[in-house]
Structure formats: structure tokens, C-alpha cells
Amino acid sequence: MRLTPAALARIVAGDQSAYAEVIVEGDPDFAQAIEHVVRHARWDLEEDLSRLLGDGLAHRVAAAGRNLLAFQRRAAASFARNLSDYWQEERALIARRSDVQRFVHDVDTLRDDVERLDQRISRLGARG
């Protein structure tokens, strides 16, 4: 099995789509078994830390780690929303969802109108 460091990091972070980047050579049954183990294995960090630091401190360290990860996710999501808003509203580099939906609706309406016009012209040509 071959994969990039970036794909490995995404797999460890729980990104299921990263498995598509794994290149499997050799025995496919063995590779499938390894993939199953990787997908379903969960590391109990707090349990391992408790052996080194004791239960109380391990719980605090694990909680601090979870809080830090949650903060990072919230900060990244907030940054992405702010950047998207800036690109849509201030710089107009990307279209707003409502603008795209309106455009798609207008294109569909135009296509239907052209099709009706083509049918009408065909009927008029058949009469003449």
C-alpha cells in the first residue's frame, strides 16, 4: 500500500475520502483487511496517558487536546466563512449561491423556450 504523507494525515484525522488516494498493489484481500483495521481502530489516548501521568492528569491533558482540536476546527470554519464572504461581497471573485441558482434557472428557462420555438417553427414549416 502506498500513500502520500498528506493522505496519511487526512486518514488519521478521519477524512474518509482520503482512502481513495491509497494505491494498493499485491494481495487485495490482505490490503482490504488492513484497510478495515485502519478504518475501525480507535486509539484511546487518555488510557495510554493515564499509564504515564495518572488518571487525573491524563484526563485533563486529553480534555485540553480535545478543546484545542475543537478550537482549531471552529477557527478554520470561521476563517473559511469570512474568506468566502469577502470573495463574494467585497471582491466579487466568486458567485453567491443564489446568483448561481438564478443563472441556472434562467438557462433552463431559455433552453425550454428555444425548444418550444424550434417545435413551433417545425410545425409551421410542415404546413407550408
List, for residues 55-95, the tens digit of each pLDDT value.
Answer: 999 899 989 988 988 898 899 889 888 888 888 888 877 78
CA 93 to chain centroid, in Å, comes to 21
Q: Angle, nearest 10°, between helix axes 55-85 and 45-53?
A: 140
pLDDT band at 102 (very low <50, low <70, confident <90, very high): very high
pLDDT in tens, 27-57: 878 878 877 877 777 777 788 888 889 999 9
HSE-CB of 17 using CA atoms within 13 angstroms:
0
| 93/66 Cα distance (integer angstroms) | 36
Distance CA 10, CA 3 (A): 11
Domain positions in the chain are 1-42, 44-94, 96-128
What is the reported pLDDT for 7?
78
Q: Considering just the CA atoms, what is the radius of gyration of the chain in Å?
A: 27
Buried b (16+ CB within 10 A) or exposed e, 48-58: ebbeeeeeeeb
User: How far is the C-alpha of 67 from the C-alpha of 112, rounded, in Å?
Assistant: 53
Q: What is the pLDDT of residue 103?
A: 95
pLDDT at 128: 65
pLDDT of residue 25: 80
pTM score > 0.75 for this model? no
